[in-house]
Amino acid sequence: MSYFDRFLKTNRAYADLHGTAHLPLKPKTQVAIVTCMDSRLHVAPALGLALGDAHILRNAGGRVTEDIIRSLVISQQQMGTREIVVLHHTDCGAQTFTNEDFAKHIHRELGVDVAGQDFLPFEDVEDSVREDMEMLRQSPLIPDDVMISGAIYDVDTGLMTQVQ
C-alpha cells in the first residue's frame, strides 16, 4: 500500500468530521505566510490558523523566488491579502549543501548538468529571513504598504521568534 492510498483512507475519516461548509475564497486575516516544506513544521496549528484564515506558501527553505512572487501577486491582487510573514526554521535542509557540491551530486546520480543553477542554500537562518524580506520590499510587484514580517521557527521546541 503506497502512502498515497493511506492518505486517501485517512482523508475519508477527516471528511466525515469536516462536514459540508463553504468558506470564502479570500483569506479572512488577509495574510500570506511564506515558509519551508519541512515536515516538522505544521503551519496552521503552530500559528493558530483556522480553516480559511491565511494563504500558506511553501518551498525548499521558504525562499522568495519568482514562483513565490507569482503566488503572492495572485494572493494579493485576486484574493486581497495585505500582510506577508517570512518564516524560516532551525535545522533546515537548505543548510546541508552548497550549490557546487549539490550540482556534482545531481550529475553523478541523475546524469543531469545543473552547474550554475542556484538551489538557494543558506548558512545563517537569520540572514536568509532578512534577505527574503528585502527581496519582497524591493519587488515592484509587492505594494509598499504591504506589511512584511520575519521569524524563525524552532523545530525542536515549536517556538517562533521574530527577526527584525
By CB under 8 A, the residues from 16 to 75 that bind a second copy are 17-23, 25, 27-32, 37-40, 42, 44-49, 51-60, 65-68, 70-71, 73-75
Out of 100, 107, 115, 158, point to the residue binding a second copy (CB under 8 A).
158
CA angle 71, 156, 150 (to 5 degrees): 35
State yes or no: residue 116 binds a second copy (CB under 8 A). no
Task: Quote the least distance from Cβ 129 to a second copy, whole Å.
Answer: 13
Out of 8, 107, 115, 137, point to the residue binding a second copy (CB under 8 A).
8
Question: 55: Cβ–Cβ under 8 A, 6 or more apart, which residues?
Answer: 27, 31, 32, 33, 71, 75, 79, 81
Task: Quote the least distance from Cβ 127 to a second copy, whole Å.
Answer: 19
CA-to-CA distance for 138 and 78, rounded, in angstroms? 21
